Chain A
Amino acid sequence: MKNLYIILALLSLCASSCKKSFTDLSPQSSYSDANYYKTTQQFGSAVTAAYAPLRDVVVNDYLMSEQRADNAIYQSILSNRGTAYTDREALCEFMDASTNSYNASEWQYCYQVISRANIVISRLPSATTVNADSAKYYDGQCKFLRALMYFKLVRLYGGVPLFLKEVKTPEQAFLPRSTVDQVYTQIVADANDAIKELPAPAGFPQTGAATKGAATVLLADVDVYLKKYADAVTLLNTLPAMGYTLNANYSDAFQPTNKNSKESLFEVQFLGGTGTGSTPNPLVYYFLPRSSSTALVTGLAINNQSTGGWNTPTKDLIDAYEAGDKRLDASIGIVEGTYNASDYFTYSAVKSVVGYTTPPSGKVAVAYVKKYQHATPAVSGSSDDFPIYRYSEALLLLAEALNEQGQSPLAPLNAVRERAGLADLTATDRATLRAEILHERRIELAFEDKRWHDLVRSGNAVAVMNAFGATLKTQISYLPTGSYVVTDNRLLYPLPQAEVGLNTQLTQNPGY
């Protein structure tokens, strides 16, 4: 019997001693949220992570904000009717349905930035070991990012669910739509906080992080949308003192060797290469005709048969450039070649768009976005940053705000024109100037994902796009009959069907 007691004692000792800690495991090759978000450095890393999905936003946004408008179209690929093609074409043709996967991606990426910003904003107040200056800086950056993304969302979708706190449980993930006003109120509040909390650039080139200047131009842009022109003027006039000015040449702003320059208010950072942490920009290949080799344009022989063919500059845009505008050659190029029956292009020559008339016999000419074509370090993409706000846009916003208040916009407007090699405008009529400013924005900011928003904001979208589509259909055979039928409902995109299906509190935009 003694043996029995000894064994029972051993058994129970073993069981009681190991039970608790034995099952208390936490990850070792990553942090858990319980042991992260403590130090200043950790919050800094959390802020960096919040910037990262901005790249996904701009890699998708050309479909939503540029190719949708009259600046760009797509290259036909009738041999492949997979949804990877038809969904992107539908966004261009105003034939998109709520199930469109690129529309869903845009939504998701914008909210990913917001979610990561919310984590920092929610956790900072209880982070006792983060010094006050760092806390302010991190909060400011995250509020800037949150405001920037909500501004994108509210313009694309109208009132959207307003997530302002970290989501920690499934229940917190289901929110109804807020109103457009509520979203704008939050954007303004966040941008104001960011202006207060962020420093002006310490020097040029800048670090690429959000600055007081970035937050200022964002809020000014919002103010112009909300027609609070006086506020916009006040904000925009603070920028020169922070050191911002125009580069000497229009194309300087897009050079990978001249990132975050004095003209840059905010740009999305890319870094080519294949090393750990490199973040190449694939758009250079998206914006060229599909081919087994793009070497004539890119230097490196790239096969973009499955990725290319998007955001092709339209004749309408090329024709809109005034004679002598240096920005034409900087923004657009022409590649000549032949399409085979499967719609793949063979490049034969690269030409300047300036003065280009017709391709040689047997060839076709396809325009391409030249702005972001620079030396390409790898097949995975380039180091070209993507501009969000440049100082020239600040000048054009200032011109617009002044004009709408009955003041002369000519000084900032002509500053932009002069750099482009164009003569000063002298008009004084507000309506004329309004049109001139809008035109100038189209040219200056071509392929920077501004055009669709400008058309909607100016109230011109329905008229301009229907007329544009009618003309286009006479020039291009592959557009479906139902394309470019633009109604007021089409000024907002549908909420992604997966979101509406999942969250019964959401109501779909009308017409979808």
Chain B
Amino acid sequence: MKQQFYQPLGRLFLVWVLLMFFALRTQAQATITGRVVDDKGQPVPGAAVMLKGTTRGVSTNAEGFFTISAAPGATLVIRSIGYKTEELSAEKTTSVVLKAIATELNEVTVSYGKQRQREISGSIATLSTEKLQDQPVMQFAQQMEGKVAGVSVMESSGQPGRGVDFRIRGAASFYLNNQPLFVIDGLPITGSINNINPDEIETFTVLKDASATALYGSRAANGVILITTRHAKAGDAKVEFNSNYGVQHLPSNKVPKPMNASQFATFMNERYQDMKTYEGFTGAIPAEYQNPSQYGAGTNWFKLLTRNAPIQNYDITLQSATDHSSSTAIFGYQEQQGVLINTGTKLFSGRINKDLTTTNGKIKAGFSIAPSYRLDHNNRLSTDGVGGLFERLFEASPLISPYNPDGSYVRNVYSSGMVAYINPLAIFNLTNDDYKTTRILANGYFNYEFLKGLQLKINTGVDKGAESRNYYQSGQVTSTVNNPTGTSSSVDNGSYTAEAYLDYKKSFGNHNLEVLGGYSAQKYSSTSNTLTGLGFPNDDIPYLSAATSVTGSSGYTAYSLVSAIGRVNYNYKGRYLLQAALRNDGSSLFGALSRYGDFPSVSAGWIVSDEDFMRSIGKISFLKLRASYGVTGNNSFSGNYSAQSTTSNYYYDFNNVVTQGTTIGNLGNANLQWERNKQLDIGVDLSILKDRISLTYDYYHKNTDHLIMTRPMPTSSGFGSILDNVGAISLWGHEVTINTVNTTGKLRWTSSLNLSFDRNKITALVSPGYIRRNNTVTSDYFRQQVGHPLGVFYGFVFQGLYKDAGDLAKSAKYLATATNPNGVSDIGTIKVKDINGDGVIDDVNDRTFIGDPTPTFTGGFTNYLSYKNFDCSISTAFDVGGQILNAAKWAYQTNMDGSRVPVAAALNHWRSLADPGNGAYPRTKTGTTAIGREVNTQWLESATYLSIKNITLGYSLNMKGNSMFRKLRAYASVQQLLVLTKYSGMNPEISLSGQDPTQGIKVDEEGYPIPRTISIGLSATFK
């Protein structure tokens, strides 16, 4: 990883001065033409090229070119802010290595352009992918985990190629989409990020505060991630080949352990015995439980449903560039089989980037085109959460074989007393769900500098997608038996973006000004259709051609956004920085009266270390103070016509005549307004000890109002919900990034630590002041309420089990009534706190706020070491503090009535006063166990974890004198090596629905497990 914002001193930039001698005048003055570029091949404009000892000199133009007359042998002095001044003899040819005085001149991609790092007054972090490429992953999101302060990346599911979520600064919104806006080479994308090959990416720029994001106004409330793909640098021509092969497997220590056959038979035997003892049961204990010792482990459903699975990744990159033209082509193939049987994904991708500059340097133009094709096999089945894989494991009896004697699947794999669940092995093998996704990202740009310093810039882009789905489920496993179901559907979607703006740069002495203004328009549309087939005679032909009944529908949806943007950057001596920006957005998503929103921002920066009084403090090499304030907006909600009521069809068949009815199905909200996010950011950038230690600190405070959310309505209105502006939330926090160069020389060791302290509080909500997660008590995990942080857990307070008759008599009991004073409680059942003190436990009055998922701080720590030809990197990510609600364990894996197979630990449950178990697991008495599946404090665990995300060890072969290779490197990498946590579930990073805080943070309903991947790779660069 290369955190470019504050480079350690050791990493110095190279400036090549290319001198081309055109006309040589012997003995006399010669005209020397040259070019000043930085190590990225980017021109350095405005650099002073002086003849040493004179006052004569010229400046480089916007393209870094200069022409100067000089006698051969004269010395040229080249100066530019941020670079170390360099001298060279005009006689000498071509390139000279110039050392920069600091890294701050590095230009980074910002919204609508590039900016020198040192002159940025907003909160921006950049991340180079150079050292991330060894990770055996399919998604770039996985590379970013734990790397950037304030950017929380969580792997909530291990579904191949999916399941990673972003939150920047704790998100800012209530509504579904808390993902940041992704902008690839200036094109805001509208489709999924899953189809993007990580190897195509060169850098990420994360825009965090309102000033940095302001030009993306309406879509910037959750932050923006700018992705820059690889563009060849001038003078380069090479072929690179990367390959990587790994094996994924599930670490067994955290896998939930259901009872095996003999344990379950014992448990059920005891349950029936207890029924005889306590419940007057007179029947016989079912035969299969009478002799538990006859069974061994029985069927191990976990083993049957999981596997070790390969992951592989191959890329080839072709690059060439001259001063005026640059071409890059990247082709990749990635394949990831799932650790869950019969799942997997494949991605074919390509990208061609082409840039050119005309000879006079006035026109720059280019295009890129990136097609990809993805095959998802059973990858989007419900493998996560309720109904997902790990719930299925507990639904299948270890006493039952998955197969009939003839080798066919058994449909129902339950033992006596269990619910008749369907064979999970058969479900996963007899369901076929294939998605084929084609995606083309393309963009082109045209910049024309028609007056000095004034450029017209035109960008256009297309994000085009097409997806087809073919689904078939055998009648053996359909929920209604013998009802084979097939679906064929397709989506054709796409968006285009067109932008035109003027950019004017001018320096007046020490005053530097840049003004930008223009327009942008974007439109997205999608056409889809779905056909569902029923009545297949058998499983032979899994296509709708075999269905006897086919129904279907098709639809179209679209949205558009039109914007005017303006920005002024001013600095004095490159030391006092000011920026003001404004974006006006009009979105089709809102009603006519509230369609437009203004999103202004201002920021200021002061490079204190440039002041004379600081020069005496030699230990401080760089110090910048920054502040910004601005407004951004959010219109990312799923319905494109939420401001309008739309109709749906409802059939009512009058006397057997099929009759279509049509009326309002979704209630629109014509008054829906833009969600506004007002953000203050104060930051410091500091480098000390000759840049050996650099530090960035930011404090932010966001107030979001007009929060958009689906608001529950009384169903007596005829509607369940409406999209509305429901309230306000404050989010604030501190972010610290520290980069150090620990050792230099032969052993080179650098470290990067980032920490984020994020807090939030809901400050206003519509009546009644809270929004509950669910109306049923069992999965009503949390409640959004004024005065509380997002996603606080809500439930009963667990007080152990009723110990004895005395305890039962004096304690409140669940659902007690006058005629039934013990309710459904008894000695040995779960006791909870009587919150309202009325002597009765009920679902409405005795639940309260029981826990908070908000971590104290989160972060990542990364180390790089190199020694001779060896290099090594270790990346970690961690959360400290906060709680996690282990819903999967208690709601789905602790069914004490034996309707499913419980966890093995539940064997140690209450059976009698003399044998009360370990106090965690109650008795099995019929009708008393339900409360154990309702949220209570027993479910809470610490969410603290430290995850070793990746360790890579590489070795570069010495290629000096090799005629074929420029570079050859072999490496081994372990992804998701280890998760250190006290959490008893599988994945402490899990969330109920990604990182959507309205759907629950840190609620574990058990997702697709995240495998450990061990891989080896080879990368070669050909000469």
CB within 8 Å of B: which residues of A?
Answer: 1, 3-4, 7-8, 11, 14-15, 18-19, 22-34, 36, 42, 45-55, 78-83, 86, 95, 97-99, 101, 104, 107-108, 111-112, 114-116, 118-120, 160-161, 163, 167-170, 172-175, 205-209, 259-260, 269-271, 273-279, 292, 301-303, 305-306, 340-342, 344, 379-380, 383, 477, 480-482, 485, 496-499, 501-504
Contacts and interface: CB of A to CB of B under 8 A. Distances in A.
B519 A11 contact: yes
B722 interface: yes
B41 interface: no
A471 B662 CA distance: 50
Contacts of A4: 450-451, 454
A121 to B, nearest CB: 12
Contacts of B595: 23
Given A31-B646, A86-B930, A383 B656 contact: yes
A259 B519 contact: no
B817 A485 contact: yes
A208 B651 CA distance: 14
Contact of A170 (B412, B587, B711, B820): B711
A279 B652 CA distance: 7
B668 interface: yes
B640 interface: yes
B562 A33 contact: no
A7 B504 CA distance: 14
Contact of B648 (A8, A30, A278): A30
Contacts of B557: 27, 29
A206 B655 contact: yes
18 contacts: A25-B559, A36-B647, A48-B654, A51-B661, A55-B652, A78-B897, A101-B776, A119-B664, A170-B669, A172-B717, A269-B656, A270-B653, A275-B658, A303-B481, A477-B280, A480-B824, A480-B927, A502-B767
A403 B663 CA distance: 45
B713 A170 contact: yes
Nearest to B766: A170
Contacts of A78: 417, 897, 926
Main secondary structure of the interface of A (DSSP, over half): loop
Interface string B548-562: 010110111111111
A341 B417 contact: yes
Contacts of B652: 48-49, 51-52, 54-55, 269, 279
B293 to A, nearest CB: 20
A163 B718 contact: yes
B555 A29 contact: yes
B459 to A, nearest CB: 13
A292 B717 contact: no
Interface in B656-697: 656, 658-665, 667-669, 671
Interface in B759-778: 766-768, 772, 775-778
B718 A111 contact: yes
Top 7 closest pairs, chain A to chain B, by CB: A115-B718, A48-B661, A341-B416, A482-B820, A49-B661, A173-B717, A49-B663
A22 B522 CA distance: 9
Contacts of A81: 895, 897, 899, 927, 929-930
Contact of A269 (B555, B654, B777): B654
Interface in B886-901: 895, 897-899
A342 B420 contact: yes
> Mostly helix, strand, loop or mixed at chain B's interface?
loop
B767 A504 contact: yes
A271 B519 contact: no
Given A27-B557, A51-B661, A379-B480, A277 B653 contact: yes
B655 A173 contact: no
A27 B646 contact: yes
Contacts of B930: 81, 83, 86
A34 B552 CA distance: 26
Contacts of B551: 274-276
Given A25-B558, A99-B776, A275-B549, A47 B661 contact: yes
Given A49-B662, A383-B656, A108 B715 contact: yes
A499 B664 contact: no
Contacts of A27: 557, 640-641, 644, 646
A301 B718 contact: no
Nearest to A77: B419
Contact of A18 (B481, B562, B661, B817): B562
B716 A163 contact: yes
Contacts of B897: 78-79, 81
A48 B659 contact: yes
Interface in B347-379: none
A117 to B, nearest CB: 9
Nearest to B926: A78
Contact of A207 (B559, B655, B714): B655
B54 interface: no
Nearest to B895: A81
B500 interface: yes
Contacts of B898: 79
B219 to A, nearest CB: 14
Nearest to A499: B714
A15 B564 contact: yes
Contact of B644 (A32, A160, A273): A32
Contacts of B719: 115, 167, 173
B658 A101 contact: no
A1 B417 contact: no
Contacts of B665: 30
Given A22-B523, A499-B714, A167 B667 contact: yes
Nearest to A42: B662
Contacts of A51: 652, 661
Contacts of A168: 645, 667
Contact of B419 (A80, A107, A169): A80
Query: B523, B554, B661 — which one has the most chain A CB atoms within 10 A of its CB?
Result: B661
Given A79-B417, A482-B823, A116 B663 contact: yes
A55 B650 CA distance: 11
A341 B843 CA distance: 31
Given A33-B644, A170-B724, A83 B412 contact: no
Contacts of B534: 274
B661 A45 contact: yes
A301 B482 CA distance: 9
Contacts of B558: 25, 28
A32 B653 contact: no
Given A3-B450, A30-B648, A174-B767, A482 B819 contact: yes
Interface in B379-438: 412, 414-420
Given A14-B519, A169-B671, A485-B817, 11 more contacts: A22-B588, A28-B556, A49-B652, A79-B419, A99-B777, A112-B715, A170-B724, A271-B658, A306-B479, A498-B712, A499-B714
B272 to A, nearest CB: 9
Contact of A23 (B560, B653, B658): B560
B653 A278 contact: yes
B767 A342 contact: no
Nearest to A120: B663
B815 interface: yes
B450 to A, nearest CB: 5
B583 to A, nearest CB: 14
A188 B663 CA distance: 26
Contact of A46 (B651, B662, B767, B926): B662
A342 B414 contact: yes
Nearest to A28: B556
B646 A83 contact: no
Contact of B662 (A22, A45, A80): A45
Interface string B881-917: 0000000000000010111000000000000000000
A28 to B, nearest CB: 5
A351 B610 CA distance: 99
Interface-central residue, B479, B502, B777, B927, by most chain A CB under 10 Å: B927
A407 B660 CA distance: 47
Contacts of A11: 500, 502, 518-519
